Structure 1
Amino acid sequence: MDEAANTLFPELSGLKWVRTLWGLEPRWVVEPDGIMVVETVKSTLNIRSACSIEFLAEGAFNKLYVIRSAENEVVARVTLPVDPKWKTLSEVATLRWVQQNTSLPVPEVLGFNANRANPVGFEWIVMTKVPGRPWVDSWQEMSFAAKEQVGIGNLFPNLTPTRDSSLPEPGTEERATETNNSAAIGSPRHERLETGGSLSQNFGRMGAAAPSTPGFAIQRMVSSASIGIDVDPTLSRGPFATSREWLSARLDLTELDCSRRLNRVLGSDPVDVRKATDNSNTAMIETGTPNNGEDNEKNEETDDSTDDEDEDGDEDDDPEDLENALKIIAKLRAQLPNFFPSGGPEKEPSVIFHDDMNRHNILVDEAGALTAVVDWECVSALPLYAACQYPPFLQGKPLDVEPIKSKYQHDENGNVAELYWEHLEDYELTQLRRLFLAEMQKLQPGWVSIFNSSQRQRDFDLAVSSCDDPFMIRRIMGWLSDLESGAEGFQGLEERIDSSSM
Structure 2
Amino acid sequence: MQPNIDSLFGDPVESINDDGDKVGPLDSADIPPHHDDPAYGLQWTRDDSSFPVRPEWTVEPTVDSIILTLQKFVDPDKEYIVQHYWNGLYSKIYRVSYDGIRLILKVSLPVCPKSMTESEVATLRWIDENTRLPVPKVRHYDSSRNNPIGFEWVLMDRIDGSPLSQCWESITQGAKERIVKQIAEYAAISFTRQFKGIGNIYPSESHQSDLQPRWTKYRLRLISAELRLRLDEATDEDHRKTISSMLNLVDRLRELEDKFFTAPRPSNDSAQPVYEDESTDEEDIETIDKSNKPYEPTMLWHDDISLDNILVDENGILMGIIGWSCVSCLPIYEACQFPAFLHQSWDRPLEPLTPYSVTRAHLNINEEVRSYGIKLRQHHLTLLRQVFIGEMMQKCQEWVDVFYNQKHRRDYEAAVQNCDNEFAYKIVEEWVGAAEERSDSDKPLWSLHVRLMR
TM-score interval (norm. to shorter) = 0.7 to 0.9
Report the counterpart of residue 218 of structure 1 in structure 2.
Answer: 209
Match of 1:107, SS state, is coil
Give yes or no for contact 1:195–1:348 (8 Å, CA) kept in 2: yes
Match of 1:197, SS state, is strand
Pairing of 1:54-453 with structure 2 (within 5 A) = 54-152=83-181, 154-160=182-188, 162=189, 184=190, 190=192, 192-203=194-205, 217-219=208-210, 239-242=211-214, 245=215, 247-266=216-235, 318-343=239-264, 344=272, 346-398=294-346, 399-407=348-356, 414-415=364-365, 417-453=369-405
Pairing of 1:18-29 with structure 2 (within 5 A) = 18-20=45-47, 21=50, 23-29=52-58
Listed one character per residue, the Cα deviations across residues 79-99 of structure 1 (whole Å, up to 9, x for unaligned) are 001001111111111111111
Distance 1:496 1:88, change over 3 A: closer
Instruction: Report the identity percentage.
Output: 29
Match of 1:426, SS state, is helix
Unpaired segments of 5 or more residues in structure 1? 1-7, 163-183, 205-215, 220-238, 268-315
Distance 1:497 1:94, change over 3 A: closer
Give yes or no for contact 2:303–2:339 (8 Å, CA) kept in 1: yes
Distance 1:51 1:497, change over 3 A: closer
Shift of 1:412: 8.5
Q: 2:42 aligns with which of 7, 15, 40?
A: 15
Shift of 1:414: 4.4
Distance 1:82 1:412, change over 3 A: farther
Q: CA RMSD in A?
A: 2.5
Shift of 1:22: 6.9
Letter in structure 2 aligned against 1:218: S
Letter in structure 2 aligned against 1:262: L
Which whole-Å CA distance do the structure 1 matches of 2:305 and 2:208 have between them?
Answer: 23
Shift of 1:404: 3.4
Match of 1:17, SS state, is strand
Relative to the length of structure 2, the TM-score reads: 0.79
Which whole-Å CA distance do the structure 1 matches of 2:313 and 2:342 have between them?
Answer: 20
Letter in structure 1 aligned against 2:246: A
Structure with the greater alpha carbon radius of gyration = 2
Match of 1:74, SS state, is strand
Match of 1:36, SS state, is helix
How many residue pairs match? The answer is: 384
Listed one character per residue, the Cα deviations across residues 16-53 of structure 1 (whole Å, up to 9, x for unaligned) are 22324372221111111121112212332215232221
Shift of 1:217: 3.9
Report the counterpart of residue 494 of structure 1 in structure 2.
Answer: 449
Shift of 1:266: 4.3
Shift of 1:159: 2.1
Shift of 1:413: 6.4
Give yes or no for contact 1:397–1:430 (8 Å, CA) kept in 2: no
Q: Which of structures 1 and 2 has the larger relative contact order (alpha carbons within 8 angstroms, sep 6+)?
A: 1
Distance 1:22 1:373, change over 3 A: farther
Which whole-Å CA distance do the structure 1 matches of 2:54 and 2:132 have between them?
Answer: 34
Give yes or no for contact 2:106–2:153 (8 Å, CA) kept in 1: yes
Which whole-Å CA distance do the structure 1 matches of 2:357 and 2:382 have between them?
Answer: 20
Which whole-Å CA distance do the structure 1 matches of 2:91 and 2:362 have between them?
Answer: 42
Distance 1:338 1:408, change over 3 A: farther
Relative to the length of structure 1, the TM-score reads: 0.72
